[in-house]
Amino acid sequence: MKLDKILVPVALKYNEDSIFKNAIGKIVADVNNFNAETDKEYALNLSVNISRALLLLLEEIVQKDTKKRNAYALEIQKKDYLIKRLKDFIDSKDELDAELPDEDDADDNSDEVPAHIKALARRMNRN
């Protein structure tokens, strides 16, 4: 019984700039050894090793993808939280402005309100 050859795609065979370069290079070397092997028993062991290496590579790819998706989801949550807080702040601006003393109120309670608060109130009311 003759063993079938495994064809390695060119994109994997000449892969130079992938983060998985080492793992892919090991798999390509194992496939080349499998293709050159004439002993069926040893070729079977090589095919098992190739399968293990492929599964480990696939696991690493899935982990990196999951990590990237989780980081993206966290960034979206942060963005949504920030937008919500800014909208809440903008919506409550009138209420916050109402809490600042007016110039008229500052004159009535001149004994209780410090001068720096009065100055701040005047500046805020001008804008």
Q: What is the mean pLDDT of residues 89-116?
A: 71
In sequence order, which ranges of 20-102 are alpha helices (DSSP H)? 21-36, 40-91, 93-99
Q: What's residue 54's pLDDT?
A: 95
DSSP 112: T
Pair 20, 82 in one domain: yes
Q: How many domains is the chain built from?
A: 2
| Encoded tokens for 50 | 């190739």
Q: What are the backbone angles phi and psi of residue 60, rounded to the nearest 5°?
A: -65, -40
| pLDDT tens-place string over residues 38-94 | 888 999 999 999 999 999 999 999 999 999 999 999 999 999 999 999 998 888 887
Same domain for 110 and 82: no
* 82 neighbors 62 (Cβ within 8 angstroms): no
> 98 and 84: one domain?
no
In this structure, the answer to whether residues 77 and 104 fall within a common structural domain is no
pLDDT of residue 95: 79
121 pLDDT band (50/70/90 cuts)?
confident
Residues spanned by the domain of 55? 1-89
Distance, in Å, from the CA atom of 46 to the CA atom of 65, rounded to the nearest integer, reads 28
Same domain? For 83 and 116 the reply is no
